[in-house]
Structure 1
Amino acid sequence: MSQAGGRNEVGAVRLQAAVIYHFWPHYREPVMQAMDRDGSIAYHFVGSGEALEGVLHADPKAVSRFVEAPFRKLGALLWQPGAVRAATDRRYQALILLADPHFLSTWVAALIGKLRRVPVVFWGHGWLKAEGSRRGLLRRVFFRLSDRLLVYGERGRALGIAAGFPAERIGVVFNSLDVAHADRLIAALRNGQIAPRRPQDFFADPERPLLICTARLTAKCRFDLLFQAAASLAQQGRPVNVLLIGDGPERAALEGLARHLRIAAHFHGACHLEDVVGPMIYHADLTVSPGKIGLTAMHSLMYGTPAITHGDFDAQMPEVEAITPGVTGAFFRRDDAADLARVIAEWLQTAPPRDVICKAARATIAANWTPEGQARIIGETVQALVGHA
């Protein structure tokens, strides 16, 4: 555990803040590094340091200060002793915690922070839909342990205010992936530095439109709907190719369904190499995520590829806000394969030119959904709270 970095480059003492996750997934590394570059706040990243459910952990050495803090699950709940230790550590002038009410240690850590008059920031999804009285009350009680709640989307903020949470205590932090890496890859693809192999070459007929999705192959992803839509399009004389990047418990069933429906589907398997995955997204015609889209929206749009998902926002993730119908993607009626086929066909027939879509998609990401933007919002929030503590 490194504790260096209490002073900035000119020798001034920086604020010390603990940022507590049960584990830091690998895709959080860019925002961790953006926060780590803050000249005013020395963030100490607290986490398990180990992979979870097939998701790799961020490299602890990617940041200056990482504190290993294992956790254990208690059924649907979680306990992380290191979160409580961080809350009692007098070095920290602010606590930032993942806003999950299932984490018992977060309740305790936040209460300790309140008792010690250390500002507490919660960071997470917030509200995804309007909730019933019992669940809604529990969530409001939990969130009120924070001095400031940072949620991923404007809709989550609006839902929180409608539920009675003080508007002045909710901010929007958005979400992000490694946008700088995507920018470098796109530049290399455009100037010929990367070999021009295209994912269309996986298929017998590479001229067909290519639909792609990067996700774990689980039942919640509803790739069965995508396959049914692809079969419907083929029956209409509009065949497509489908490329899935990921692995998971539904793979065998989906492979069987693809054979049964006689669609052109390629299963690439799991891949965590952005230099491999990024160009495949860039060259695809559409990302189609029939279930929740989440960070898949970020992954698609930062490479300039439009995204289609369902339009039932009560069953969506906050990142769906990045999709503007007719500009950066489209929505279909949830759980309706026929409507998904219709929306795909309409997009392929009537969408703006690809360069226009690419520019709009990447502009959307640059405006709100970047690691640097998240780090700036978090830093400003901490500074404001510590200034008033």
Structure 2
Amino acid sequence: MKIKTCCILNIAPIYRIPIFNLMGKELPCDFFVGDKVGSPIKKMDYAKLLGFTKELQNKRIYHNFYWQKGAVAAVFKPYKNYILTGEPFCLSSWLILILAKILGKKTYLWSHGWYGNETRSKRILKKIFFNLATKLLLYGDYARELMIKEGFKADKLIPIYNSLDYDSQINFRNKSTQTSIYFEHFGNRNPVLLYVGRIQKIKKLDLLIEVVGILSKEENHACNLVIIGRETDDFELKNLVDKLGLQTSVWFYGESYKEEELAELIYNATLSVTPGNIGLTVMHSMVYGLPVITHNNFAEQGPEFEAIQPGFTGDYFEEDNINDLLRVIKSWLVKTNNQKENVRNDCYKIIDEKYNPHNQIKILKSVLST
């Protein structure tokens, strides 16, 4: 019988069901999973997780530091490889890493790695923690390059990227066509700017609404804006829309978890724009061929930002600079139909090559076999 890999995670987010179930089937894996302390992340139903073994209790120790009760015992079980959430605040993970070294077992930390905005104390903490592991599984190449500059060995750093429910999305993508959904709502064929995600102040959607207001006064540049998501902050966006007289140009669609519905909305839009920090929205937009615009302060971005290749799959603007956001959006609105089709294919390509569970499982199999 093949020896299983042990996965010890702080939480299993619902969006990772496809990759975790693929790991449970093809590696295979046993999963020990807890609830991250104070996390707003929606967890999956662990009963639906293939290979689920035990739910761990995350106990807060001090500030952000916590202990996963029951996790350390797994290091004494007959596993050869251990994949852990790469979070230095999890004190039990430190002990697992140390014991695994003593016992001659291999450990892999799945982590954001480096952001580029670490304080001196956090840099020291991360360096010690990450160097205890056999290898690091990173969300992208940006973190890898930063860590090489910090002195980490290149062969220790393995980009594994991220993924959503790729197979389901590809099924909807293959069925997608241009529809009249936006014409029926707005009564015009103006370009459509789209935001998908939680409606929070950190996303800076007020900048996007102001840009739509400016464009509405310029000849041949009027745009519609669709905002999809649940409002989580007390944010006065609708008042701003009223103030700028944009009631007929902005559609607060609300939240939706129906992929068929989202596929039509994303496929038929012109640009995906997030003026604040961005993450999974990049993958969700590009899998349906929609280019993405966000700000250029990469140290504050989610790791998925690097899928944006300026001029091909999207663009960056100077953070908090409304004039630069306006400039970048306008530069994309003038693209020809042939250029738009090339962009759509470029978006497909990067998701199909990197940001999907099939690529991730291929990388994991390769790493764990060495």
TM-score (norm 2): 0.91
User: Closer, same or farther in 2 for the Cα pair 1:111/1:257, shift >3 Å?
Assistant: farther
Corresponding position: 1:370 with 2:356: yes
Which amino acid in structure 1 is aligned with residue 239 of structure 2?
Answer: G
Q: Aligned partners of 2:49, 2:182: CA distance in 1, in Å?
A: 34
Q: Is 1:314 equivalent to 2:299 in the alignment? A: yes
Q: Which residue of 2 aligns with 1:234?
A: 216
Give the match for residue 95 of structure 2: 108
Which of 199, 203, 219 pairs up with 1:221?
A: 203
Post-superposition Cα deviations, 1:328-372, rounded to whole Å, max 9, x if no partner, equal 111111111121111111101136533222111101111111111
Q: Distance in 1 between matches of 2:319 and 2:88?
A: 28
Q: Which residue number in structure 2 is paired with residue 254 of structure 1?
A: 237
Q: Against the structure 1 CA distance between its residues 228 and 120, is the aligned structure 2 distance closer, same or farther, given a 3 Å change threshold?
A: same
Structure 2 vs 1, CA of residues 126 and 380 (structure 1 numbering), >3 Å: closer, same or farther?
same
Query: Match for residue 4 of structure 2?
Result: 16
Pick from 72, 84, 87: which aligns with 2:72? 84
Aligned residues: 364
Contact in 1 for aligned 2:35/2:58 (Cα 8 Å): no
Deviation at 1:225, TM superposition (A): 1.4
Aligned pairs (5 A) from 1:280-359: 280-350=265-335, 353-359=339-345
Gap change, CA 1:140 and 1:53, over 3 Å in 2: closer
Partner SS, residue 358 of structure 2? helix
Q: Please say if 1:34 is aligned against 2:18.
A: no
Quick check: 43-52 or 263-272, which moved more?
Answer: 43-52
Shift in CA distance, 342/147, structure 1 to aligned 2, threshold 3 Å: same
Instruction: Give 1:212's aligned residue.
Output: 194
1:265 Cα deviation (Å)? 2.1
Q: How does 1:9-158 map to 2 (within 5 A)?
A: 13-38=1-26, 41-48=27-34, 55-66=41-52, 67-74=54-61, 75-88=63-76, 90-129=77-116, 131-158=118-145
Gaps of 5+ in 2: none
Superposed CA deviations along residues 5-35 of structure 1, whole A, max 9, x for unmatched, are xxxxxxxx22211212221111101111222
Matched, 1:179 2:166: yes
Structure 1 200/138 Cα, relative in aligned 2: closer, same or farther at 3 Å? farther
Question: Which residue identity does 1:235 align to in structure 2?
Answer: K
Q: Distance in 2 between matches of 1:198 and 1:209?
A: 13
Residues 359, 119 of structure 1: CA spacing in aligned structure 2 closer, same or farther, 3 A cutoff?
Answer: same
C-alpha RMSD over aligned residues: 2.2
Is the Cα–Cα contact under 8 Å of residues 112 and 303 in structure 2 kept in the other structure?
Answer: yes
Q: Against the structure 1 CA distance between its residues 48 and 278, is the aligned structure 2 distance closer, same or farther, given a 3 Å change threshold?
A: farther
Distance (whole Å) between structure 2 residues aligned to residue 22 and residue 371 of structure 1: 20
How many angstroms apart in 2 are the aligned matches of 1:199 and 1:25?
32
TM-score by length of 1: 0.87
Distance 1:56 1:133, change over 3 A: closer
Q: Relative to 1, partners in 2 of residues 1:156 and 1:200: Cα closer, same or farther, differing over 3 Å?
A: farther
